[in-house]
Amino acid sequence: MNNIMLQGTMSGVGKSLLTAGLCRIFKEDGYRPAPFKSQNMALNSFITNEGLEMGRAQVTQAEAAGVEPSVRMNPVLLKPTSDVGSQVIVNGEVLKNMSARDYFKYKTTLIPEIMKAYDSLASEYSPVVIEGAGSPAEINLKSNDIVNMGLAEMVDAPVLLIGDIDRGGVFAQLLGTIMLLEEKERARVKGLIINKFRGDVSLLDSGLKFLEEKCGVPVLGVMPYTKLDLPDEDSLSERFDKKERGALDIVVIKLPRISNFSDFDVFEGIENVSLRYVSDIDDFGEPDLVMIPGSKNTIEDLKWLRKSGLEAKVLRNAEKHPVFGICGGYQMLGRRISDPEGTETGGDIRGMDLLPIETVMGRNKVRSRTEGEFGGLSGVFRALNGLRFEGYEIHMGQSSEPYYSEGDIYGTYVHGIFDAEGIAAGVLDALAERKGISLKNLGLKSDRERREASYSKLSSVMRSNIDVDKIYEIVFNHKCQ
């Protein structure tokens, strides 16, 4: 079986995107690749056609590979519920909530499920492009590893090690990681890649030579910093740093446990439209639309929203401008949220009272693909009535109404609600008309069209800057154990 594994010197070095890029390259060259990540920790997730939950990054990679997303590509998903605990999802279904310490002791019992998922994938697809997590040199986590070098040994995978030059210290990152690996682990590393470079690559020549001499591993390329219109996986997203305000200003509340913020990607990169993630009252302004996103701990995030002063800002802004809540954000807009069984945090809390709904958390998670048609909308977005939408639902709570609108306040459980053709454009047109401005010729592509263009761009940039021939040699000539 042919495979290759991408590991990084730390989180956020670009493993997920480069994995997607390799999947697209193999697809373009006539192979049938598939991505795999044994254990993912992320709050951006997705529901498959079978109603099972998996990490969003592996969905992106599957799409780049041209194959249907499957939970086999991400058999273990950890969704943080607090600083020290996560909801553990195995093969797309909730197992239970566990503390970090308890999960560390438990995780090796998941190896049979991980290997079953991998073997099933490898029997249908080749090459399998595997993504690691964090760093393989985390000394405190190396024992019983199931996602980095431990997995590489289980599936006999050659490894490419990626460093992020944009953060600085890339030579120390790569060399230090190699030095901290055991001898048998170092033998698996077949190439180094430097990612997110800005500038004249020839200025790196002496450093690249130094790396190859000290590490004993070839540098396969230097990837330039590349802007792509693809979903981000976690809270390291650079999307959160944008502060400029456009003629139309959309604010997304950056909750501490924000999840599925890819719901709002469709509004990015549009001339005269700003999409800002706000976690401080000083940055709030007077936006034309406020979005409240999903949350992995709705009650705790509502408490934060209240304590931070942002709830008061949202309520005051709602007197003039629309508010749209999705999933946990929708629940917050209601009158009350109750968690009698301690599903997330326990307790009972008053909502923002912008919609006449009540929510009760339960043990059973709703996981479903959803499609339908807007109807009964009033207020500024009434022109959306009749448009078709599709998406998916992932939520623990049940509300008295699954979807609701009242005046300019809107709520839904459907993730991806803005992605279908005409919906995002309809939202922006309605906001512009109310404001008395024109946003002509928006030229909004569908969500799928934008992603396809990014996959093609990513593969082209990788082919131009990375030794793809050498990667093929590594994949197909790797000697089994």
What's phi and psi for 285, nearest 5 deg? 70, -145
Calculate the alpha carbon distances from 96 to 51, 87, 108 in Å.
18, 6, 16
Alpha carbons 95 and 76: distance in angstroms, whole number? 10
Write the CB contacts of 392 (distance below 8 Å, at least 6 apart in sequence). 46, 47, 367, 368, 369, 370, 414, 415, 416
CA distance 408 to 399: 19
Amino acid (one-letter) located at 35: P
Residue-level length of the chain: 481
Mark whether 480 is an active-site residue: no
Cβ neighbours of residue 12 under 8 Å, at least 6 residues apart?
164, 167, 236
- Around 177, how many Cα atoms within 13 Å sit in the side-chain half-sphere? 28
Tokens of 84: 């020290």
* Sheet of strand 358-373, all strands in order from the earlier edge strand to the far edge: 347-350, 336-339, 358-373, 388-399
Task: Give the active site residue among 327, 395, 478, 480.
Answer: 327
Q: How far apart are CA 425 and CA 435, in angstroms?
A: 15
Under DSSP, the state recorded for 32 is B
Rounded CA-CA distance 41/100 in Å is: 12
The single residue of 321, 415, 478, 480 carrying the catalytic annotation is 415
Which amino acids are annotated catalytic?
327, 415
